[in-house]
Amino acid sequence: MATSVGGAMLLKAVDASGNIKDVEYVVNLFIPVIKDVGEHNVVQIITDNGSNFKAAGGIIESTYPHIFWTPCVVHCLNLTLKSICEPSETSPQYTHCKWIIDLVSSVQNIRNFIVNHGMVLSIFNNYSELGLLRVAETRFASSIIMAKRLKEVKDALEKMVMDPTWRRLLKGDGKSTIKIKAREVKKCIVSDSWWDDLEYLLEFTEPIVDFLRLANTDAPVLHLIYDMWDTMIEKVKFRIFVHDKQDMLTGQSNFFDVIHNILETRWNKSNNPLHCMAHSLVPKYYTEAWIRGGSDGVPRLSPHEDQEVSSNRSKCFKQLFSNQDDLRKVYIEYGAFSSGSGYFNESHVIDAKLYEEPISWWANHGSSTPMLQALAFKLLSQPASSSCCERNWSTYSLIQSIKRNRLTTSRAEDLVFVYCNLRLMSRKKNEYKEGPTKYWDLCGDKFDIDGNTLGELAELSINEPELELITFDDAFEEGQEAALGAEVEPLEEF
């Protein structure tokens, strides 16, 4: 997949069956596509942070110094949630997060018990218009989504376990498995402390999930990632400290220290010079209103005052401008922009920083710094995740299925190419943004190609409102993606 300011486009599919996805194989996939697109047109390659992809990204960066390897921020956030909700017994956070492991396990047990027993499901449906989501574990934030749905149907669950039919399940000698599980489910549902723990989990993970929702698109958000990650950590801290009744400035929370360490570790693995360079080109981040607008009254640092951002920005400049004369010129231009000197000091230019979109601001006011303006046009139109590629492979699973398993590889690739790009092109029409056909393709096909069964939601992402109305019956298999912009492992897709 290739993405730009004009949107996403499927370039080609590769039949990788029978091949080992090692470093050499991945590099040999990417370099021909880079040459086809034109190396001067490529800004970054987005993959997950697997060791083979990271090594391949390093080789591509050494071959093309102006092209950056960027790990998918959505996969990093999903791994963060997994480290919180499903830490291994050997991990340092296991002791502090043990209550979350038990809570998530009971959420899954309640959901499985209800949907796997016809009579129990019938009782539940009598009290709830919402179904219980069956989200595959391969989806982003699956545990949080299921926990949120249980909270939404809390009243129905309480009525279910008080129903006369439910009580008949508990009669008898109590030795059968269903009776034992029914007692365990009821014990959780009628427990106020269990619901309090569930609400607390949803509360402090909400900023992480909100960040994941925003990043899980092919929209240009690369320039927002650095600030959003800092803001997310501040929000998580605030919610944990409020729960622990601690002061934000002087208080101490061992649990937050554990969560903060997880967030910081993931950020250090996902952050790269391109994030900081794009962050430095957002005009709003140099305004007094933004600097003073930090949470809890703590001032923010503008990009040219932040040591980490400045260090990575310098690395990015040196990587992008190998010619020393060009490097000196772009430093001078950035100095004028960041200090607000010359034309950038005019009142209408300063006022526009707050209300105008960054790329529009650079188009209107960046002509005095042409090299920096050209760089802004490139970086401010970049995504930060490989989500568009993942949803494309969900489309592939609709076309190449058990019912249609005699399609040749080339035929399936052609169908996917046409299907995906027609959808992407349709998003540029007014009918996609308004009227009865608004967002018609976001949740994929309601029926498969045969027209008689629920489709597997080809375009589904964590943003979809209709996700709340859908029950996932089975996890469908995901292929490995390899393209400009995305190469992801199926275990981390939402």
State the 10-residue block means of pLDDT for the chain, 494 residues long: 83 83 92 92 89 92 93 90 89 91 92 88 89 62 86 92 84 69 91 95 94 85 92 93 88 92 91 93 92 70 93 94 94 94 92 92 94 94 84 69 74 80 75 66 37 33 40 35 36 32
Q: Among 192, 195, 214, which residue's Cα sits nearest to residue 203?
A: 195
Structure tokens at 38: 């034109």
- Give the whole-angstrom CA distance, residue 288 versus residue 351: 11
| Predicted pLDDT at 214 | 87
Total Cβ atoms within 10 A of residue 479: 19
| Predicted pLDDT at 136 | 53
Q: Among 79, 81, 78, 95, which residue's Cα sits nearest to residue 201?
A: 81
Bridge partners (DSSP) listed for residue 47: 71
Identify the burial level of 85 via C-beta atoms within 10 angstroms of its C-beta, where 0-12 means exposed, 13-18 middle and 19 or more buried: buried
Alpha helices in 366-408 (DSSP H): 370-379, 387-399
Strand stretches in 227-324, DSSP E: none
Answering whether pTM is above 0.75, one says: yes
